[in-house]
């Protein structure tokens, strides 16, 4: 199934300042997430951001917060799965019901805990999860790989940043294409 931008939302899972330094591949992770945030904002896609226990783990990375701007407010959670957190679940269900946003593009950390549990839980809410493989991380590379393998076996679409970008764009020759394709050059 292809992503359709009018059906998508972007879900950024726990990209927090105290968690990120422990991850493998933090720099490329932040770079890819930044591309997707810029694209989602340019294409007017809804963005949801979760923060796992922010009191102890800090808030969303300042660089990402700057890209998100003030219109996107992170939602705190204690459940590992965003699908199990009442506030985030309500936000996702509202997007699905009111805007027909039934495809969720996921980026974040940790791939084998919160991202995995969210991706496996979203179908219960009527949402198709698309996990951006080059925009998720774990402390150990093997944990990330096992998570991506498990999600794929369980029917979660594993995609790349470029796949998402070009599926959201749909065609060349538009002002959006010119602007957003420059992000990956």
**Residues forming the active site:** 14, 77, 114
Q: Cα(179)–Cα(183) distance, rounded to whole angstroms?
A: 8
Q: What is the DSSP letter of 155?
A: T
Is the distance from CB of 127 to CB of 104 less than 8 angstroms?
A: yes
3-state secondary structure 82-105: HHHCHHHHHHHHHHHHHHCCCEEE
Number of H helices, E strands in the chain: 8, 6
């Amino acid at each position: 199934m292809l992503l359709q931008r009018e059906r998508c939302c972007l879900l950024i899972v726990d990209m927090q300042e105290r968690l990120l330094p422990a991850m493998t591949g933090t720099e490329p992770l932040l770079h890819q997430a930044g591309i997707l945030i810029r694209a989602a904002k340019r294409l007017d896609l809804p963005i949801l951001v979760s923060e796992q226990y922010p009191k102890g783990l800090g808030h969303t990375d300042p660089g990402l917060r700057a890209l998100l701007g003030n219109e996107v407010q992170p939602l705190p959670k204690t459940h590992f799965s965003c699908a199990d957190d009442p506030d985030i679940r309500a936000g996702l269900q509202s997007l699905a019901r009111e805007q027909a946003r039934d495809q969720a593009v996921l980026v974040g950390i940790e791939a084998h805990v919160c991202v995995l549990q969210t991706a496996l839980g979203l179908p219960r809410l009527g949402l198709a999860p698309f996990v951006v493989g080059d925009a998720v991380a774990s402390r150990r590379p093997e944990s990330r790989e096992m998570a991506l393998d498990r999600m794929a076996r369980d029917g979660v679409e594993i995609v790349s940043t470029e796949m998402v970008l070009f599926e959201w764009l749909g065609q060349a020759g538009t002002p959006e294409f010119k602007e957003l394709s420059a992000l990956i050059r």
